[in-house]
């Protein structure tokens, strides 16, 4: 995550989520509208990506290379599953939790590109439950807010004791 920003009163500010800003904190009307639009957009992007992959496989099939069609379909299926699994982990646990092959951005860039339909499908599914990445951001924000409130209460108690000693 990024560095902590604060509000005017010193409380930790929530981190914005792409397409949602900070509407996820209060879940107001704008949040629900954005959730619906993001879900529809992700579904449309998934369908468009699947159509492009289908056209690519059809082109290979037309070239009369039947064994290549099977291998290509298998490769696309595996890449889609891997990219979807990686994206699910990013959206639920955060990018910092990626280890091993999932953490490879440059070495496996081709796999992530071919499997982008799986990543988009996972994004769509996650957007049906919450704003993608909201659970992680909410947990971090709640933890920072609780820490800030504890410190604020301790500071107020300390200041009250000092004021009582000065009066006595």
pLDDT in tens, 10-61: 788 888 888 888 888 888 888 899 999 999 999 999 999 999 999 999 988 8
Tokens 């910092």 correspond to what residue?
A: 96
Of 54, 45, 57, the closest CA to residue 117 belongs to 45
Ordered DSSP codes for 98-145: --GGGG-SSTTHHHHHHTHHHHHHHHHHHHHHSSTTHHHHHHHHHHHH
Sign (positive or negative) of CA dihedral 103, 105, 110, 115 = positive
pLDDT value of position 85: 95
pTM: 0.80
Task: Let me know: does 120 contact 42? Beta carbons within 8 Å.
Answer: yes
């Amino acid at each position: 995550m990024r560095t902590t920003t604060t509000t005017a009163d010193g409380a930790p500010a929530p981190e914005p989520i792409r397409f949602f800003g900070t509407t996820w904190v209060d879940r107001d009307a704008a949040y629900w509208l954005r959730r619906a639009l993001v879900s529809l957009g992700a579904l449309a992007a998934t369908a468009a990506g699947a159509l492009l992959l289908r056209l690519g496989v059809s082109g290979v099939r037309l070239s009369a290379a039947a064994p290549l069609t099977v291998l290509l379909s298998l490769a696309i299926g595996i890449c889609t599953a891997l990219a979807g699994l990686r994206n699910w982990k990013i959206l639920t646990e955060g990018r910092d939790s990626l280890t091993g092959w999932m953490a490879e951005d440059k070495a496996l860039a081709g796999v992530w590109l071919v499997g982008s339909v799986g990543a988009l499908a996972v994004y769509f599914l996650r957007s049906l439950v919450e704003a993608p990445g909201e659970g992680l951001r909410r947990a971090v924000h709640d933890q920072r807010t609780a820490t800030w409130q504890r410190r604020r209460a301790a500071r107020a108690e300390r200041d009250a004791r000092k004021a009582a000693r000065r009066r006595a």
